[in-house]
Structure 1
Amino acid sequence: MSAEELLTQDFGTLADVIREQAKALDDKPALIDARRTLTYAGLDATMDRIAAALQRDGMAVAEVAAICASSSVEYGATFFGILRAGAVVAPLAPSSTPQSLVGQLKDCGAKVFFLDHPVAQAMAGVMDQVAAKRVALDGSDAGMAFEDWLAPKGARPAPVTVDPDQGFNIIYSSGTTGAPKGIVQPHRMRWGQIRRGVYPPTSVTLISTPLYSNTTLVSYLPTISNGGTVVLMPKFDAEQFLKLSEQHRVTHAMLVPVQYRRLMERPDFDSYDLSAFQMKFSTSAPFAAALKADILNRWPGGLIEYYGMTEGGGSCGLLAHEHPDKLHTVGRPLPGHDMRLIDEDGKEVPQGEIGEVVGRSGAMMVGYHNQPGKTSEAEWWSPDGLRFIRTGDVGRFDADGFLTLMDRKKDMIISGGFNIYPSDLEAELTRHEAVLEAAVVGVPSDAWGETPVAFVALKPGAGVGADELKAWLNGKVGKTQRLADLQLIDALPRSHIGKVMKREMRDAYKGPATMA
């Protein structure tokens, strides 16, 4: 059965699809980084050697292997090789604290830990707490060298059978509100994603976000499953992204909004040949309508914004190039996705009213690893017994079925009994000619319960003062929305995929002038 035929089946495995692609594509480049290119035949053979080595080391079906390293051909192949062994991949973020990484390795029960030298250096003080066998993807002294660890050339693993509901990967949340939670995504969920058909066999996808992020995997996995080529960047750099796009005639890319902003701000952006682009994608963070419009105007190819969660559930898609009048929204629910809005009591709200977004589809997590209580908190059950995943986001559907997001539910500010949506204030602040970006958080207030405080990064050379900007904003919003304080900072703190770390700002705020 060909890869194309296999992808039409109700269920299959990505490892089997790659095997069939390798038979048909042979020496076509599958993975490219700055050092080397791995063809489909080479990828398939390397996956066999990885899977055989894992089985040699006692790895059983549904056990876990973890990876924590910069993106590389070796990383990309190892991800797939773990799957071929029937094991579960736990891609971990090198930006995590050493103690957090130890906790994640223990939580997932990793039997083998793939890492590189920088991660080993960062974890030097806690490495004695790591029980997993260590393999150095970069050949360093971080563990047994990857090439030495691999099974011999020509090795083939024992066949395995994978249940659709078995874990495909475990992705750990950022942990900004406590210990990271392991989100178990099953094979069934990933199978549905790689069959969407968004990436044709001619795709050349540039990956500039880390491979431990779901944002990346929803682009990386279907490119390979459909026979395309992936170009891997170990770290995002705007100039390098543009050079690689031109060099490799890149057709597809998944970027987070802050990356788009940095690219579009470059004075030399229009000098690069980006004519090969067919489609660009974005997810993970709020995407300003003005920035979407600029991309549509100056960057060839379409633009699709996805809204959803790593936990799965319902997702929306905005085909921005087809709906330029809906750029303020995150689009409509994808086919087969059921999305609803509920109130504080868990009851659905009427069309046009604001509520928390919940959703269900064929792409849903099994749950949080070893945390049934947290899993239950993330679920909403409809009156007819259907399981939905709660997003924690507040939004409203318009008459055309497009979803406009207000804020994270936990970020909504209740001041004197009035609901204040930070996104409203942030949007108004960014209309000021001097403002680059802004974030508004709620801080405790004896008089009002909570009150809004803004943190603002100015454009280079801007001369407006904090008090002047605060007065300007307060003159434009309602009385209940007025800022109690506004502080200027160099840049908003962000996670590895561009999400603004509001908790970090809220926790650091001690009163007027503390962060100026």
Structure 2
Amino acid sequence: MAGSSSPSLSLVHGPLESPLCYLTLGQLVDQQSDRYGSKEALIVPWSGARLSFYDLSQRTQELARGLLAIGVRKGDRIAIFSSDDERFAELFLAVARIGAILVILNKTYTILECDRAIRHTDASMLFLGDMVNRTATVTLIQHLQIHPIPGLKNIILMRTEHVEATWTLTWNDVLCAGASVAKKMLDQVQQEVRCHDTVNFQFTSGTTGAPKAVMLSHFGIINNGRICGYHLNMTPEDTVCCPPPMFHAFGLVCGLICSLAVGSAVIYPSRDFDAHTIVDALIQERCTVLHGVPTMIVVMLQQLQERGQQIETVRTGMLGGMKVPSAMVSEMKERFPRMEVTIVYGQFHAATPPFQRFTIDLALGMTETSAACFITSESDTTVQKLETVGKVLPHVWAKIVDSQGHLLPVECRGELCVSGVMVQKGYYKDKKKTDAAMVWDEEGMLWLHTGDEATIDAEGYCRITGRIKDIIIRGGENIYPTEIEERLMEHPVIEQAAVVGLKDDVYGEVVAAFLQSLPLQVRPSLNEVKGWVRQAFGRHKAPAHVFWVGPEDLIHEYPATGSGKIRKDALRKMGNMMLDT
């Protein structure tokens, strides 16, 4: 069964026949250890780690005992600020074993952002990498010494033996302390953990406002990971290359948890994104699955072009975070001739015909849904693959509502709401925003209001038409940035486009486009850009302002979240400032 939908209303649900997994992460790790034993589970080339499923089970048990020894208990919040490595993964699973909660700090955070996140989540411990986002973290320790946080008992240094202060420990200190805790005690603690317990706080990307601490459960992330893996037809024979970072749901759930759930091996090639290292890993490990966001893929394709290489082993993968330019698809076909791509969270528009042996799928997801909730399938038509984000995944419900929460007919634009196994438990210590986003209906079903504007057609396919908060209101007319961005990216010279509303004395807001051109091309003028948009849309949708983004421009690169999404709030601020000068 492919799910069902109402013939006239925008209400759909995915297949319900497939069984759900009611395990905790600790139970899942141990189950997979029994099943796969010495088979490789986690590879980190830059640190030299190659852990089997058995290794992962044993090491996370030892670390969990260490956590108990230093006073961590069920429900405690344990923060981590680290780049990607095996110790990040081990800590996540060890914390999960004892019912504590891992607070995952965005590795692009400044010292003050880390401070605010730790205070907001009431973290009692901070696990700290020595280098995060290519920057030494000693300054964070110094800051916390001068500005102590109530309740923060220890800082654990993950990759150094040098103790900075009396209240810092090392990774080995924690492991050694675990020798005092009997395995029987750990077993008793693990028995108290339930699959619906919160297992981690994942911060939203904050492209339109302040990040929120999303509370995710064992149940949600395990089942979402399993469903994504099955959709990609992943097996224990696969090796996944995962450049997206673990601080983001994409890298954590679609990377680590998905691979763990289906028995595949996952590779985190570098501490921080490095195209050269990633391509090396793809070749040396003969990876069959590749995840990424378009900004990552562009640089990787450049690296392959410089080497004059193709990668024949990669057969599938996920892209997410932002729109995928059609020029990128052409080059991916050339460099990854066997690859089928699933695009997570966003829309793809191609001005070129479909490619033989190169299938573009789409999926929709967000932090609050643990990762994905919509996805296309191999049997979908070309139009459905290129213009929609597919149908809802198994055990997921979706609907389109108006501003009053009323269900809309098919094909009508409104807010996308989702419900099901993957939905968050709420935002930590933010009842107001939780109540606004998580709404019970008259039938007793809890719905997440995504903030995405979308339509659902009579067959159940979803089209994302923009963000509710991104809508530009020009003289009382609603303008949807997504359709303008897609039109702009059809231009032969424009590689990337981001459209926002900027202040205007006459209309209140007007359309502004931040554009990135293809290398060595003559950029179109403002009037030419306006004319291009007006060929498809009314005059009011043509950009009143155009700002170019590039190394020689005032804006060197798009402001982005750590997961690669363009920050429209930052663009809006920069654009308004430039209009004032």
What TM-score does the superposition give when structure 1 sets the normalisation length? 0.91
Tell me which residue corresponds to 1:165. 196
Tell me which residue corresponds to 2:571. 505
Deviations 1:294-340 (A, max 9, x none): 64675313222321221128810023685433212211111221111
Cα distance in 2, alignment partners of residues 55 and 99 from structure 1:
29
> Is 1:382–2:419 an aligned residue pair?
no
Deviations 1:378-409 (A, max 9, x none): 12333433211011111122343221111111
- Contact preservation (8 Å) 2:21, 2:219: no
Tell me which residue corresponds to 2:342. 304
Distance 1:285 1:140, change over 3 A: farther
Tell me which residue corresponds to 1:479. 539
Q: After the TM superposition, which of the residue ranges 424-433 and 357-366 deviates more from structure 2?
A: 424-433
Tell me which residue corresponds to 1:238. 275
The 3-state SS of whatever aligns with 1:390 is strand
The 3-state SS of whatever aligns with 1:209 is coil
State, as a whole percentage, how many aligned pairs show the same letter: 23
Tell me which residue corresponds to 1:428. 487
- Contact preservation (8 Å) 1:302, 1:320: no
Tell me which residue corresponds to 1:212. 247
Aligned residues: 509
Distance 1:346 1:118, change over 3 A: same
Tell me which residue corresponds to 2:95. 82
Q: After the TM superposition, which of the residue ranges 254-263 and 54-63 deviates more from structure 2?
A: 254-263
- 2:217 pairs, out of 148, 166, 186, with 186
Aligned AA for 1:310? T
- Contact preservation (8 Å) 1:116, 1:140: no
Cα distance in 2, alignment partners of residues 113 and 231 from structure 1:
25
- Contact preservation (8 Å) 1:289, 1:328: no
- 2:469 pairs, out of 410, 413, 432, with 410
Measured after TM superposition, the shift of residue 45 of structure 1 is 1.9
Tell me which residue corresponds to 1:227. 263
The 3-state SS of whatever aligns with 1:236 is coil
Aligned AA for 2:70? D
The aligned runs of 1:346-425 (5 Å cut-off) are 346-425=405-484
- 1:458 pairs, out of 514, 517, 529, with 517
- Contact preservation (8 Å) 1:253, 1:281: yes
Measured after TM superposition, the shift of residue 360 of structure 1 is 0.5
Aligned AA for 2:160? G
The 3-state SS of whatever aligns with 2:366 is coil
Distance 1:436 1:266, change over 3 A: farther
Measured after TM superposition, the shift of residue 282 of structure 1 is 2.3
- Contact preservation (8 Å) 2:208, 2:568: no
Cα distance in 1, alignment partners of residues 299 and 459 from structure 2:
32
Cα distance in 1, alignment partners of residues 20 and 415 from structure 2:
35
Tell me which residue corresponds to 1:73. 86
- Contact preservation (8 Å) 2:375, 2:393: yes
Measured after TM superposition, the shift of residue 179 of structure 1 is 3.9
The 3-state SS of whatever aligns with 2:33 is helix
- 2:28 pairs, out of 1, 5, 17, with 17
Tell me which residue corresponds to 2:14. none
> Is 1:344–2:406 an aligned residue pair?
no
Aligned AA for 1:98? I
Distance 1:232 1:92, change over 3 A: same
Tell me which residue corresponds to 1:3. none
Cα distance in 2, alignment partners of residues 373 and 485 from structure 1:
36
The aligned runs of 1:293-332 (5 Å cut-off) are 295=332, 299=336, 300-305=338-343, 306-312=363-369, 315-319=373-377, 323-325=381-383, 326-332=385-391
Cα distance in 2, alignment partners of residues 294 and 382 from structure 1:
46
Measured after TM superposition, the shift of residue 489 of structure 1 is 2.0
- Contact preservation (8 Å) 2:202, 2:249: yes
Measured after TM superposition, the shift of residue 110 of structure 1 is 1.9
Distance 1:397 1:262, change over 3 A: farther
Aligned AA for 1:133? N
Cα distance in 2, alignment partners of residues 456 and 285 from structure 1:
14
Cα distance in 2, alignment partners of residues 100 and 38 from structure 1:
33
Q: After the TM superposition, which of the residue ranges 463-472 and 367-376 deviates more from structure 2?
A: 463-472
> Is 1:31–2:42 an aligned residue pair?
yes
Distance 1:463 1:292, change over 3 A: closer
- Contact preservation (8 Å) 1:257, 1:287: yes
Tell me which residue corresponds to 2:294. 257
RCO higher in 1 or 2 (8 Å CA, sep ≥ 6)?
Answer: 2
Tell me which residue corresponds to 1:274. 311
The aligned runs of 1:96-135 (5 Å cut-off) are 96-119=109-132, 120-128=137-145, 129-130=148-149, 131-135=152-156
Measured after TM superposition, the shift of residue 291 of structure 1 is 4.3
Measured after TM superposition, the shift of residue 367 of structure 1 is 0.6
> Is 1:449–2:462 an aligned residue pair?
no
Cα distance in 2, alignment partners of residues 274 and 514 from structure 1:
49
Cα distance in 1, alignment partners of residues 366 and 284 from structure 2:
33
The 3-state SS of whatever aligns with 1:126 is helix
- Contact preservation (8 Å) 1:429, 1:473: yes
The 3-state SS of whatever aligns with 1:268 is helix
> Is 1:493–2:559 an aligned residue pair?
yes
Distance 1:122 1:254, change over 3 A: farther
- Contact preservation (8 Å) 2:67, 2:178: no
